């Protein structure tokens, strides 16, 4: 009796769930040390807009059992587990423009955005 085994392929490392740019880390660090001291930022997605989904951010006191804990640049961000498949590999940035400022997301899973930029689809 001859037995053949197929060599197992080495597993590829998964991309990080989410990373922060230096600008996002700096802004988040300032928020964590001032008005939102003692809280954590939770990022998720919700159904909204003409393309179907939008990013949802909220402040929480502690991680929920359904949160993925992301640590980057000595900061902790929570990701709602239901949103993790939509956010794998996302880069969170912080931009300041003439009339607006805020966190932005570069998500490799996005297939398109609505015209106003409020929502996306995967």
Domain ranges across the chain: 18-110
pLDDT tens digits along 76-120: 999 999 988 888 999 999 999 888 889 989 888 776 665 555 656
Rounded CA-CA distance 92/103 in Å is 7
Level-2 CATH architecture, domain 18-110: Sandwich (2.60)
- Give the model's pLDDT for residue 103: 92
- The C-alpha R_g of the chain, in whole angstroms, comes to 18
Q: How is residue 111 written in tokens?
A: 């297939």
- Give the model's pLDDT for residue 120: 61
- Give the model's pLDDT for residue 10: 74
- Give the model's pLDDT for residue 14: 65
* pTM given for the model: 0.78
Q: How is residue 26 written in tokens?
A: 């700096």
CB atoms within 10 A of CB 53: 19
């Amino acid at each position: 009796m001859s037995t053949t085994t197929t060599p197992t392929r080495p597993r590829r490392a998964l991309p990080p769930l989410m990373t922060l740019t230096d600008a996002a880390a700096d802004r988040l660090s300032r928020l964590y040390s001032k008005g939102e001291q003692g809280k954590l930022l939770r990022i998720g997605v919700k159904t909204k807009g003409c393309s179907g989904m939008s990013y949802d951010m909220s402040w929480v006191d502690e991680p929920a059992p359904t949160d993925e804990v992301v640590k980057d640049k000595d900061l902790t961000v929570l990701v709602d587990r239901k949103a993790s498949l939509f956010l794998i590999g996302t880069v969170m940035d912080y931009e300041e423009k003439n009339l607006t400022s805020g966190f932005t997301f570069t998500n490799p899973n996005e297939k398109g955005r609505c015209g106003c930029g409020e929502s996306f689809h995967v």
